[in-house]
Amino acid sequence: QRRVQDLPLNGRNIYDLMALMPGVTNVCTSITGTNDTNEMNVNGQNIRNNNFFLDGAMNNSLYRNGGNMAPNPDAVEEFHMITSNFDAEYGRLPGSVMNVVTRSGGNQFHGSLFEFLRNDSLNAHNFFLSSVTPLKRNQFGAALGGPIRKDKTFFFASYQGLRIATNSSVTGVLTPTPAQRAGDFSSLAPAKW
């Protein structure tokens, strides 16, 4: 758990750790939970041939067969990825098995608060733009675990929020007028040689 929290995860998505495994390429992850994310090629298999589990239960998107969102790193106890020779209990897809185990409470209260801020203060501007694109990205949350009944019942809860404020980039591309699309370029100024 300590290693998971200490590793640099851009965007704090636990699935980014898949890229560290041998035989894993084309890792595509997102914390927003869209249907075309949390996929990778493992040992030459198709990106849609991977099993994702959360606490031992299937966590695949049934629409595109990618992995559903994973909990934030503060809520993860361990993750385990098997890239070959896995047991029949993991059947269904031949690519790999990614199992994420969440933390649980205990007899002592424990928790954490976090906030990660990324902004445009140190960003370079795009070559094709005259200024830096504004960016304010706040990723924040908390995790708390503890006893409900000592030595019997425990709880653990976690929350992560993401707020992004940015402008879309504007380029200087001009689209042709309807007349120009029809082949009439008489409205253009003559070239000066």
Provide the CA 10 distance to its chain's centre, in angstroms: 8
User: Would the pLDDT of 113 be above 70?
Assistant: yes
CA–CA distances in Å: residue 175 to residues 89, 172, 180: 56, 10, 9
Residue 98 to residue 43: CA distance in whole angstroms: 14
- The share of the chain scoring above pLDDT 70, in percent, equals 91
pLDDT at position 39: 85
Full-model pTM: 0.72
pLDDT in tens, 153-172: 999 999 999 888 877 655 66
Task: Enter the DSSP assignment of 60.
Answer: B
CA–CA distances in Å: residue 78 to residues 11, 54, 182: 18, 11, 61
User: Would the pLDDT of 129 be above 80?
Assistant: no
**Banded pLDDT at 35 (limits 50, 70, 90):** low
**How many CA atoms are closer than 13 Å to the CA of 54, on its beta-carbon side?**
15
User: Would the pLDDT of 31 be above 80?
Assistant: no
DSSP string, 44-80: T--TT-EEEEETTEE-B-TTT--BPPPPPGGGEEEEE
